[in-house]
Amino acid sequence: MNRLAIGVDLGGTNLRIAAVDEQGKLVEKITLDTQVSLGRDHVIGEMCNAIQRMSDKYKNSAPLVGIGVGVPGIIDRQTGLVRESPNLPDWVDYPAQAAIEQRLKTVVILENDANVAALGEKWLGAAKDCDDMAMLTLGTGVGGGLVVGGKIWGGANGMAGEFGHTTVEPDGHICGCGNHGCLEQYASATAMVRMAREAVSRDGTSALARALHSDPGFSAKSLYNLAAQGDEDARRIFRYVGRCLGIVLSALVNSLNLPIYVIGGGASSAWDAFSPAMFEELRRRSLVFDATTVQDPNAIHEGAAAHVKPGSGHRTVITHAQLGSDAGLYGAARLPMIAGS
Ligand SMILES: [Zn+2]
């Protein structure tokens, strides 16, 4: 049997653990409620028990390559400290790696969750034909990850790739990171709902206002459904989401000239609604994008640039992710497979 690695995706609401073989086959996947409110020791304890059970289950049939854990937050790679995590409030300067290793009595690799999602898409998803790629994940926040030479580019401290905290509005909405006007405040699922509420406060009689008032669970998906039905208020919000993504992607394309940029996360399913404005912004703002992409504007607007094979003809491809919410699990399992290579 092929060797296995265990990948962990620690989210704010649930904890997912998978055994993945070296060919990328998902052997087993489990989901646990994280219950973050019970504190970090509880979360770490539940996680380690589940990892141990999974590791014991396969130990006689497949050698374990290692364990990778994706954590939402700023991680210091040298020390294994979670410096801070918006979804895990009591994990400030918390030595998570040491806490996990003590319980499991083995080495684990800790990484930022958006970085591992990027690695997953590089390994098995939209960027599998490229060694170099960047990813943006549009979820509760906006995560970023950069892969260079097939490995996560962490920078000096392992903190690189925070594209979601790039400023798109100099005096814009306050962000959880302390800055004003971050991309995260205009392109996350949370931001989309906030912008819908702001639009409604200006015009309380619109279809968007009726939808917001009648649906207590109004979400980015609800907003997308309205846009798909032609609602102009919802469409305007997605055009703005696209503009902000285009501004940040233009900076990335100009700075990095990578063959492919992947957009994932739950809110990326609104691709049809935001991508025309995103591509328009890219063509307007990035000379490198303009010089390296298909020149048919209609093709670009339909997102057909995605059909150009990444890495071929030195084209810049900007496309949506392929692995959905499993990208982080695959990426986390991939960490020990490429460690030291
Ligand atoms: Zn920010």
Between the CA of 73 and the centroid of ligand 1 the distance, in Å, is 12
What is the model's pLDDT at position 294? 65
What is the model's pLDDT at position 1? 66
Between the CA of 185 and the centroid of ligand 1 the distance, in Å, is 7
Q: How many residues can be counted in the chain?
A: 341
Between the CA of 132 and the centroid of ligand 1 the distance, in Å, is 25
Q: Which fold has domain 4-122+327-338?
A: Nucleotidyltransferase; domain 5 (3.30.420)
The answer to whether 240 and 276 are in contact (CB under 8 A) is no
What is the model's pLDDT at position 313? 59
Between the CA of 238 and the centroid of ligand 1 the distance, in Å, is 20
Between the CA of 171 and the centroid of ligand 1 the distance, in Å, is 12
Identify each DSSP E strand in 212-329 by its residue range: 260-264, 317-320
Which residues are near ligand 1, the ion (C-beta closer than 5 Å)?
165, 175, 177, 179, 182
Between the CA of 138 and the centroid of ligand 1 the distance, in Å, is 13
Structure tokens that stand for 23 in this block: 């060919």
Q: What is the Cα–Cα distance from 283 to 293, expressed in whole angstroms? A: 9
**Could you state, in order of their start, the residue ranges of all structural domains in the chain?**
4-122+327-338, 129-321
The answer to whether 74 and 82 are in contact (CB under 8 A) is yes
pLDDT tens digit at each of 341 positions of the chain: 689 999 999 987 789 999 999 999 999 999 998 788 888 999 999 999 999 999 999 999 999 999 999 999 999 988 999 998 877 888 999 999 999 999 999 999 999 999 999 999 999 999 999 999 999 999 999 999 999 999 999 999 999 999 999 999 999 999 989 999 999 999 999 999 999 999 998 778 899 999 999 999 999 999 999 999 999 999 999 999 999 999 999 999 999 999 999 999 999 999 999 999 999 999 999 999 999 886 554 444 434 444 455 555 578 999 999 999 999 999 999 999 999 77
Write out the DSSP string of 230-249: T-HHHHHHHHHHHHHHHHHH
pTM: 0.93
Q: What is the Cα–Cα distance from 255 to 236, expressed in whole angstroms? A: 29
Between the CA of 166 and the centroid of ligand 1 the distance, in Å, is 7
Between the CA of 162 and the centroid of ligand 1 the distance, in Å, is 9
Between the CA of 17 and the centroid of ligand 1 the distance, in Å, is 28
Between the CA of 10 and the centroid of ligand 1 the distance, in Å, is 21
Between the CA of 70 and the centroid of ligand 1 the distance, in Å, is 20
What is the model's pLDDT at position 36? 80
Between the CA of 142 and the centroid of ligand 1 the distance, in Å, is 9
Between the CA of 78 and the centroid of ligand 1 the distance, in Å, is 23
Please state which architecture CATH assigns to domain 129-321: 2-Layer Sandwich (3.30)
Between the CA of 164 and the centroid of ligand 1 the distance, in Å, is 7
Structure tokens that stand for 309 in this block: 């094979």
Between the CA of 288 and the centroid of ligand 1 the distance, in Å, is 26
Between the CA of 173 and the centroid of ligand 1 the distance, in Å, is 9
Between the CA of 114 and the centroid of ligand 1 the distance, in Å, is 15
What is the model's pLDDT at position 226? 97
Gyration radius from the chain CA atoms: 20
